[in-house]
Amino acid sequence: MNICELLIKINFANSKGEAKRMIQGNGIKINSNLETDINKIIKIENGLVIQFGKNKLKKIVKC
């Protein structure tokens, strides 16, 4: 899944433009790795941790 679409799906962003600004502003970490590529494809897997800023954090758990 595209990183921008993922941020919208987990309610970190309301639009693709907002998601792109968050990524370009160095605000997104996935599994503690800073993400700067707005076209990156993220593989959804169990235990994936997405962080925005210091306080917003989501962990992906598949049932």
Give the 3-state secondary structure of residue 49.
Answer: strand
What distances in angstroms separate CA 52 from CA 13, 20, 23, 63, one per listed residue? 10, 13, 9, 24
Q: Given a cut of 80, is residue 11 above it in pLDDT? A: yes
> How many domains does the structure of the chain reveal?
1
Separation CA 44–CA 42 (nearest Å): 6
Contact (CB, 8 A) for 53 and 21: no
This prediction's pTM: 0.86
Domain carrying residue 47: 3-60
Each residue's pLDDT tens digit, 37-63: 999 999 988 899 999 988 889 998 876
Matching residue, tokens 């987990």: 10
Q: Given this model, what pLDDT does residue 6 score?
A: 93
Phi, psi torsion values for 17, nearest 5 degrees = -60, -45
Report the CATH number that the domain containing residue 39 is assigned in CATH: 3.10.290.10
